[in-house]
Copies of this chain bind each other. A is one copy, B any other.
Amino acid sequence: MKGLWLEDRKMNFRTDLPMPELEPDEVLIKVLLAGVCSTDLEMMKGYYDFTGVPGHEFVGLVQDENGHPELLGKRVIGDINISCGECERCLNQETSQCMNRRTLGIFSYDGVFAEYSKLPARNLTVVPDSVSDVLAVFSEPTAAALRILDQIQVRPSDRVIVVGAGKLGLLIAQAFKNTGCDLNVVVRRAEPAAILTGWGIRAVYPEEVKGQLADIVVEVTGSPEGFKLSRALTRARGSLVLKSTFAGDVSVNLSKLVVDEITLVGSRCGNYPAGLHALSSGLIQVGEMVDSIFSLDQGLEAIERAGQPGVLKVLIRP
């Protein structure tokens, strides 16, 4: 089959990939639409040393139900964490943090930038007919954005600053907007500022927030500089949510975290049905965020395009 292949940090287009081999409980999925995430790009910079088919944002059609007839022909989205079901985290219902997990298109499991992919049946959520492919493909990052609200309580009286208005930042901004908090989103470009304004969300440039202090700050720039700005904007006893993954360490003044009693919250994957629901109900909008849709044959161009500064969501349609 056709698909992208990451090896030695280099992305290749191949036409000779083997079809996914199904283990018990896994179903075969024909990929309808896939989304390029910053993590895919960071893997090419060495964030993870992954060899295989990349890509983890998708909506697809169940082609081989492998013992799960209720799924045959259904349109599905899926949890990217392939869990063991036996470790302490799994037994504690925290399967996304399974200690033996494989991760779709990121770690030890081929992903969705290909004609076909696979996932365990338990990972899948059926997409209602009323939800378009373009909407459904945002389920994974939308769930990740909503995950923050699982972790911290956001009050309508809270001042919140989201630092970064890329693909994930725009989803997070909408998640916070829905809480009724006092929200500012730090942008560096006019395009996301215009999108945010269109959604009724205040967009500000870094110099405009200088000296401000927020109760909750979300770092979603994917850069050490973004962390430094975010830290400076967090009030004493405030919460700083870390949402971006990138290669390399950052130098942190831990004593200042102690003195200011900051809570740093690492935040990863969310609940997929909740993400799908926020999209299908219109709580989170994504139409403005789609930059372009490439065919799988143009997959390398899609990756190239997604890596350009300021480019929002690039989709691949196999």
Is A254's CB under 8 angstroms from B227's CB? yes
Mark contacts of A196-210 with chain B using CB atoms, 8 A cut-off: 1 yes-contact digit, 0 otherwise.
000000000000000
Stretch at the interface among A122-130, A186-194, A245-253: A245-253
- Using A94-B236, A236-B97 as known contacts, say yes or no to A47 and B268 having CB atoms under 8 A apart: no
Cβ-based interface call for A178 (8 A): no
Is A258's CB under 8 angstroms from B242's CB? yes
Q: How far is the CB of A181 from chain B (nearest CB, A)?
A: 16
Cβ-based interface call for A89 (8 A): yes
Mark contacts of A264-276 with chain B using CB atoms, 8 A cut-off: 1 yes-contact digit, 0 otherwise.
1111100000000
Contact of A47 among B94, B236, B245, B255 (CB under 8 A): B255
Can you name the residue of chain B whose Cβ is closest to the Cβ of A107?
B259
- Using A94-B236, A263-B266, A265-B263 as known contacts, say yes or no to A245 and B249 having CB atoms under 8 A apart: no
Cβ-based interface call for A262 (8 A): yes
Cβ-based interface call for A257 (8 A): yes
**How many copies of this kind of chain does the complex include?**
2
Mark contacts of A48-69 with chain B using CB atoms, 8 A cut-off: 1 yes-contact digit, 0 otherwise.
0000000000000000000000
CA distance A227 to B257 in the complex (A): 13
Inter-chain contacts of A261 with B (CB < 8 A): 97, 151, 265-268
Cβ-based interface call for A237 (8 A): yes
CA distance A267 to B257 in the complex (A): 8
Inter-chain contacts of A251 with B (CB < 8 A): 249-252
- Using A236-B89, A250-B252 as known contacts, say yes or no to A97 and B260 having CB atoms under 8 A apart: yes
Inter-chain contacts of A267 with B (CB < 8 A): 258, 261
Cβ-based interface call for A244 (8 A): yes
CA distance A245 to B254 in the complex (A): 7
Is B237's CB under 8 angstroms from A254's CB? no
The 7 closest A-B pairs by CB, nearest first: A264-B264, A257-B266, A97-B236, A245-B255, A258-B266, A249-B251, A252-B252
CB pairs A–B below 8 angstroms (12 shown): A94-B236, A243-B258, A245-B255, A245-B258, A246-B255, A247-B255, A250-B251, A250-B253, A251-B251, A259-B268, A261-B266, A263-B265
